Copies of this chain bind each other. A is one copy, B any other.
Amino acid sequence: MIKIGILGSTGYAGSELVRLLSSHPYAEIVFLDSRSYENKSYTDIYPHLESKLDKKCSSIDLMDDSHFKNLDLLFCALPHGLSQIAVKQGLKNKVKVIDLSADFRISDVASYEHWYQVEHLAKEEVKLAVYGLCEINREKIKTATLVANPGCYPTSILLALYPLLKEGVIKAQGIIADSKSGISGAGRNLSDANLFSQCNENIRAYSLCKHRHIPEIEEQLSLYSDTTLTLQFTPHLIPMNRGILSTIYADMNKNLSCSEVYDLYITYYSDEYFVRLLSGGKLPQTKAVSGSNYCDIGFDIDKRTGKIIIVSAIDNLIKGASGQAVQNMNLMFGLDEHIGINQLPMWP
């Protein structure tokens, strides 16, 4: 059994992690950290786990090494700053770490500090971090001690663009990603913007030109394309619980047909359990991935404009967060990659 501690276990990413690990045959949860709900029974906060999980939340003192003693793995779902210290402490205590925050996703620390407007407190550890997009960095993840779990928007955009940029099918410059997310992406924070009556029957764009996932996406896309590229990214909030749909626009570099591009995607993804390519003009929808770790990808080429439009869909809390975190765990511990995360999507 893998002995696991979860820091920040009562947000939505944390609770989804708890749900998935509760049914994972090789996982044993040692502690559920929570500042806000210390000493409260976990099922008082998340009643769906009633009868399955009988544990109280504890507030872990990160400076007390004893907490890390018997752990094999630390999941860290804390806000930035806190996350940096936690990861440092975990690694110091020889515990493998999967960090769900953004703190270790960007290898260019200066860029991180510019976009997040804070000083990074664990610069050395950044160098150890592997960017945990499993389909792309699988081999590195297997031997990593620190995995930076990708952001939800980045996951949906990177998987869609990886083969196209690798093969030079599209131009690296001028890419636009217009993403739409369910409200759970904003977490379980008490914020006016998260209230039901503010979100329901409403759609809005936010963080125009300045969302913090931009440097993360750009760094990865630049790696794929061997250039330094600049991305236009616009996130939107739409009235549903789960799901991200990204609509991505790029200029074709070569004059390929849809079936040629499909074949190219197949070369990259035919063996990938969690990536499903839609053929014949079919397009992804979030309902088709909801509750699962799948990423669905479809596309069309517009002969009139010379652009390709790629659409990708994920469940933001699973492939976009905790499902991918468990996928990373499976890789790091030599397990079959889809153990514990092969639930089928729910419809409707």
Q: Which residues of B contact A196 (CB under 8 A)?
A: 183, 194-196, 198-200, 239, 241
Q: Which residues of B contact A311 (CB under 8 A)?
A: 205, 208
A51, A190, A200: most-surrounded residue (chain B CB, <10 A)? A200
- B180, A180: Cβ atoms closer than 8 Å: yes
Q: When A183-B196, A241-B348, A249-B232 are in contact, do A48 and B202 touch as well, CB less than 8 Å?
A: no
Q: Which residues of B contact A344 (CB under 8 A)?
A: 19, 22-23, 48-49, 52
Contact of A226 with B by CB under 8 A: no
Q: Interface code A34-70, partner B: CB below 8 Å = 1, 0 otherwise?
A: 0000000000001111111000000000000000000
Least Cβ distance of A220 to chain B in Å?
17
Contact of A346 with B by CB under 8 A: yes
Segment from A116-124, A153-161, A296-304 that makes contact with B: A296-304
CB nearest neighbor in B for A206: B283
Contact of A213 with B by CB under 8 A: no
Q: Which residues of B contact A171 (CB under 8 A)?
A: none
Least Cβ distance of A304 to chain B in Å?
5
- A192, B203: Cβ atoms closer than 8 Å: no
Contact of A276 with B by CB under 8 A: yes
- A48, B304: Cβ atoms closer than 8 Å: no
Q: Interface code A289-333, partner B: CB below 8 Å = 1, 0 otherwise?
A: 111101010001110110101010000000000000000000000
* Cβ-defined partner of A276 (8 Å) among B51, B282, B294, B347: B51
Q: Bound state CA distance, A233 and B238, in angstroms?
A: 19
- A200, B300: Cβ atoms closer than 8 Å: no
Contact of A230 with B by CB under 8 A: yes
- B190, A191: Cβ atoms closer than 8 Å: yes
CB nearest neighbor in B for A180: B203
Contact of A253 with B by CB under 8 A: no
Contact of A222 with B by CB under 8 A: no
Q: Tell me the number of copies of this protein.
A: 4
- A203, B348: Cβ atoms closer than 8 Å: no
Least Cβ distance of A238 to chain B in Å?
5
Q: When A19-B347, A249-B176 are in contact, do A286 and B202 touch as well, CB less than 8 Å?
A: yes
* Cβ-defined partner of A240 (8 Å) among B174, B200, B236, B249: B200
Q: Bound state CA distance, A202 and B343, in angstroms?
A: 19
CB nearest neighbor in B for A184: B197
Q: Which residues of B contact A8 (CB under 8 A)?
A: none
Least Cβ distance of A234 to chain B in Å?
6
- B347, A346: Cβ atoms closer than 8 Å: no
Q: Interface code A245-274, partner B: CB below 8 Å = 1, 0 otherwise?
A: 101010000000000000000000000000
Q: Known pairs A12-B197, A196-B241, A203-B238. 8 more at Cβ < 8 A?
A: A48-B344, A49-B344, A176-B176, A188-B192, A200-B239, A201-B242, A208-B300, A238-B240
17 A-B interface contacts by CB (under 8 A): A15-B347, A22-B344, A47-B282, A48-B345, A51-B276, A182-B197, A183-B200, A188-B197, A190-B195, A197-B348, A200-B241, A204-B284, A208-B281, A208-B283, A208-B309, A230-B305, A238-B238
